[in-house]
Amino acid sequence: MFEVIFEVPVREKRLEELESLLADPDIWKNQAKTREIQTEKSRIVHILSKWEAVSALWDDLQVFVELAREDESSVLPDIKDAIARLKKSLNSIEKVYVLSGRDDAKSAFLEIHAGSGGLEAQDWAEMLLRMYLRWAEKNRFKYSIIDILADEAAGIKSATIEIEGEWAFGYLKGETGVHRLVRISPYDSNSRRHTSFASIMTTPEVDMDIDIAIDDKDLRIDTYRASGHGGQHVNKTDSAVRITHHPSGIVVQCQNERSQHKNKAVAMKLLASKLYELEEEKIKERMNEFHKGKKEITWGSQIRSYVLQPYQMVKDHRTNLEVGNVEAVLDGEIDDLIDAYLTMNASQGAGGGKNN
């Protein structure tokens, strides 16, 4: 039943493929590729272990149901307990299932910026900072404030938090956007209701240690006679070198040196430079994708509203989920809001793609 839903056979086959790749000594020469494979393997192992727990609970439930045919009253508490544990396990595996984006398993950087509005907005930004730090604590993530710009009067203008731990970015990626607070201002002597805005930007920890190791198996090296200006400058040996890097399609060549060995060395250096540039561009493109979600910190662009007066309610405008206990939310109890967004995102096929 659940085996088909969670694509267990597909994942088991993929796990075998990954283990076969890791068994090849040559793969370890490329550290970036090795890390990518190990991350994917870890994600699949995690999902399969969750599936095994669900499968075992399902089998237990079937046994209790059979026993209930003979004496329902004696096994009814066991059936209720098995159903509760099965529901909890299904919720757990669903959460892992929806965290399928390429960067979901990574640690995260979370930036908070106060909108316009002076002390009101700055105080709201500090409240959000506390909310996310409390969330990290409750979920046993290690965190550190790596940058903060506080105001002497009240609140903060901005802050950047590093939240370390597996799946941190996956959980927090949906927090990117404008957060709106409605309350009676503690800074207004007339006790009027104010609306404040702050923006959140979440990005994954990106491996900046770009690996440019070049595997000889990925290269085609051709030699040819260098062209010249004629006369004594014509090279009469095949000293020029052209190198084609198959994975990227990059082609480099060098014919300046009279020695084929020197031309090859220069060409390899050029290839390494181009591969490094290519990897940097990939990182820039991915970071640009994350920043596309950043909106202007103003009315109408909020993803979530936190209303303290005239009533109490937190509403996520993307999922329409409403939570009445605002105090708990501001104390870090945001898992329901996170889960609702992840489920919606996955159902829309926008979870970053299934790469496992």
Both 200 and 112 in a single domain?
yes
Both 34 and 153 in a single domain?
no
Both 294 and 184 in a single domain?
yes
Whether 354 is covered by a domain: the verdict is: no
Both 265 and 333 in a single domain?
no
Both 136 and 156 in a single domain?
yes
| Final residue before a domain boundary, out of 255, 286, 317 | 286
Whether 103 is covered by a domain: the verdict is: no
pLDDT attached to residue 230: 43
pLDDT attached to residue 327: 96
- Distance, CA of 161 to CA of 170 (rounded, Å): 16
Q: What percent of the chain has pLDDT over 90?
A: 28
| Residues 78-101 pLDDT 10s | 777 778 777 776 766 666 667 767
Both 113 and 193 in a single domain?
yes
Residue 291 or 200, more confident: 200
| Residues 322-345 pLDDT 10s | 999 999 999 999 999 998 998 888
Domain of residue 240, CATH code: 3.30.160.20
Both 279 and 295 in a single domain?
no
* Per-range mean pLDDT, top range of 24-38, 53-67, 167-181, 253-267: 167-181
In b/e form, how buried is each residue of 3-39, taking b as 16+ CB within 10 angstroms? eeebbbeebeebbeebeebeeeeeeeebeebeeebeb
- Distance, CA of 283 to CA of 170 (rounded, Å): 18
- Distance, CA of 103 to CA of 287 (rounded, Å): 11
Both 76 and 168 in a single domain?
no
| Residues 50-69 pLDDT 10s | 777 777 878 877 777 777 77
pLDDT attached to residue 350: 45
**Residue count (the chain):** 356
Whether 356 is covered by a domain: the verdict is: no
Q: Which domain holds residue 49?
A: 2-98
Query: Structurally, how many domains does the chain consist of?
Result: 3
Both 221 and 183 in a single domain?
no
Both 158 and 226 in a single domain?
no
Domain of residue 70, CATH code: 1.20.58
pLDDT-derived band at 351, boundaries 50, 70, 90: very low
**Radius of gyration of the chain, Cα coordinates, nearest whole angstrom:** 28
Both 30 and 176 in a single domain?
no
Average pLDDT, the chain: 81
pLDDT attached to residue 4: 46
DSSP H/E element including 303: strand 302-307
pLDDT-derived band at 32, boundaries 50, 70, 90: confident
Q: Is 175 helix (H, G, I), strand (E, B) or coil?
A: helix
Instruction: Count the Cβ atoms, other than its own, within 10 Å of residue 316.
Output: 22
Both 150 and 295 in a single domain?
yes
